[in-house]
Chains A and B, each alone.
Chain A
Amino acid sequence: MSERIRNHMDVLGLCALLAVVLVTYQRLDPTLLSPSTITILSAQFLPLILAAVAQTIVMLTGGVDLSLGPVLSLGMAVFVVTAADGATGVLAAMALALAVTVAAGAANGALVAYAGLPPIIVTLAASFLWTGVTLIVLPQPGGHVPAGLVSAYNLGWYGIALPALAVVVALALWKLVRTTRFGLALYAVGGNEHGAYASGIDTRRVKILAYGFAGLFTGLAGIGLAIQTGSGDPNIGAPYTLNSIAVAVLGGISFFGGVGRMRATLLGALLLGLLTNLLLFTGISTFYQLILQGVVLVVAVAVKTLATRERTA
């Protein structure tokens, strides 16, 4: 039993922290649990959550994705330049944008798996490449997202918070993927690549699939951001690279691969997002907010490391 509790300590700790933040938030903004606020907040957090999911998948393989922000911008750019009015037009644009980001992700994966290059180098190079490509697709902020979609997404659609629904569907999708052979192999490859290979797992295929899935979630984040802002901006994705890593780390995903849970990443994203918003309410200077964010990250990682050390002792 105590072993079980210890295994869930990360998640429980994050839940406790999140509860504290939520209660404080509720006091400052009593509308927190109203449908409109949930819609607004979920629209705001969706890109970060999905980007963090993508980053988590890559980190589970033992890699890191520095091209996440640029690929997010790329997905956004492809979506806004191709989106036409009407359901078919939007869905076609989404499919095209996702195809592009999945291909971008899988290309990273192939270089890591077959050329044996370090993920940090591959994705660094990819970040330059896709930044350039994005600027060709969308040279300056603009593009088109159907206005009806923008308002339904941001203001609620028959009282349904579409962004929250999108996050739930995306996470359910991941849950499903996790139960497949690939899902199990992902943790095995990240935890011990040679062991996984020796036990008959096609480690290369697993890596390419993992980076491809990361591309998928990154693309979804970009589409979400496009619908939230009603347009595309070729430079908007950049901060998501480091923010997604911060969230994954906060969620206890190990940099060495194979360790961490997606639900912890989700909690990490909510925590970081709500905390930032909370600090806005307090009106303290943004400079102190950055300092506090840094402190929260270091403390979270330190606590996690100490807890793990205890476990191995």
Chain B
Amino acid sequence: MLEDDVAKLKTEGKVASYETFNANGDTSQQIAQIRAMMQQKYDVILVDAGSSTALNPVLEQAVAAGIVVVNFDSLVTTAKVVRVGTDQVAWGRMMAQWLADKLGGKGEIIAMNGPAGVSVSEDRWKGADEVFKKYPDIKIVANVHSEYNLAPAAQAFASAYSAHPTIDGVFSQGGALSAAALQTLVKQNKTLVPITGENYNGFLKMWAEKKAAGFSSIATAQPNYLAVIALEAAVAKVGGVAVPQDITVPLPEITDANLDQFVKADQPDDSYPIQPLPQNEIDKLIGK
């Protein structure tokens, strides 16, 4: 998606060249990469942060050196860079509220969270926890942490589920976690209780398949057009547009009713299908 936008901006003469670096989850490596970019005098740095705090000093230095820095997806805590993201607390709140309503404010649930010590996971859970606190009859019988990957999530869910087979629902804060939970229920031929989700295609496919059997869910997305918005914001900022420092992109809502527009039967499980954001919406967000 980002590549398409780069190609478009190149033909418009707004981007001359573009390089991608991957830090492979090593934050020290990401810091070194940003340093190298500063020394090579790039005009714009787009960064998906490996740590919410550790990149602050280097990014602030890049800004001080006159580089336009736009951070997207996983956000840093410094306010000196332009940040394009979604509200992760609202994410957790949206999922939890739907589940609470679905259960009529009463029942036992398993919570599936991301890895401990990761801001995204902590923030989504914070939002969910706020909601669940309002429903004293909803009992969280297990709070599971897992990588945002199908295999470890399936193991984590299976052990929690075998200890609590009578649950009424699952709060999940990531698509692979939701897919793992749903898959386990389907495999063991158990009641398909409501499970909150994300636009992870593997989950969407299963949801679409089991909808007739009474499975119900809600999903949102960390839309991959965040990178496109980040790029557009950076280019606009270099061009003199007063781009806001914090761009909060609204969370999409995928429900039983509009699922068909999102699920992509012909695409692999690990894709994250999303409807592209119209250009006028992007322009509105970046203050054009």
Contacts and interface: CB of A to CB of B under 8 A. Distances in A.
A239 B24 CA distance: 10
Contacts of B22: 285-287
Contact of B36 (A139, A141, A277): A277
Interface string A129-155: 000001100111111000000110011
A293 to B, nearest CB: 11
Interface residues of B, number: 33
In terms of DSSP, what is the predominant structure of the interface of chain A? helix
- Centre residue among B55, B77, B117, B119 by max chain A CB count within 10 A: B117
Contacts of B21: 280, 286
A134 B115 CA distance: 13
Nearest to B122: A140
B119 A141 contact: yes
B56 interface: yes
Given A225-B28, A239-B26, A281-B36, A230 B117 contact: no
Nearest to A154: B57
Contacts of B26: 239
Nearest to B123: A140
B56 A234 contact: no
B116 interface: yes
B32 to A, nearest CB: 6
Contacts of A228: 31, 57
Contact of A233 (B39, B53, B61): B53
A229 interface: yes
Given A141-B51, A150-B57, A229-B53, A235 B29 contact: no
Interface stretch (A12-20, A40-48, A178-186): A40-48
Given A141-B51, A228-B57, A233-B54, A40 B35 contact: yes
Nearest to B57: A230
A215 interface: no
A29 B54 contact: no
Nearest to A151: B57
B67 to A, nearest CB: 15
Contacts of A290: 24
A233 B51 contact: yes
Contact of B117 (A40, A143, A154, A235): A235
Nearest to A48: B28
Nearest to A240: B28
B117 A234 contact: yes
Contacts of A82: none
A286 B30 CA distance: 11
Interface in B186-201: none
Contacts of B19: 283
Given A44-B28, A229-B57, A280 B33 contact: yes
Interface in A176-202: none
- Centre residue among A134, A239, A285, A287 by max chain B CB count within 10 A: A239
Given A276-B32, A286-B22, A290-B24, A140 B119 contact: yes
Interface residues of A, number: 41
A231 B53 contact: yes
B51 A229 contact: yes
A160 interface: no
A138 B51 contact: no
A139 B24 contact: no
Contact of B55 (A29, A47, A151, A229): A229
A141 B123 CA distance: 12
Given A230-B53, A235-B115, A290-B24, A277 B32 contact: yes
B166 interface: no
A48 B51 CA distance: 18
Interface in B5-47: 19-29, 31-33, 35-36, 39-40
Contacts of A305: none
Interface in A230-254: 230-236, 239-240
B163 interface: no
Complex A-B, nearest 10 residue pairs according to Cβ-Cβ distance, in ascending order: A231-B53, A229-B54, A280-B36, A234-B117, A286-B22, A141-B53, A239-B26, A140-B122, A233-B51, A141-B52
Interface of B: 19-29, 31-33, 35-36, 39-40, 51-57, 61, 77, 115-119, 122
23 contacts: A37-B39, A44-B31, A139-B117, A140-B122, A141-B51, A141-B52, A141-B54, A151-B57, A225-B28, A228-B31, A229-B51, A229-B54, A233-B51, A234-B117, A235-B117, A236-B51, A239-B25, A239-B28, A276-B32, A277-B36, A280-B21, A281-B39, A285-B20
Interface of A: 29, 31, 37, 40, 44, 47-48, 134-135, 138-143, 150-151, 154-155, 225, 228-236, 239-240, 273, 276-277, 280-281, 283, 285-287, 290
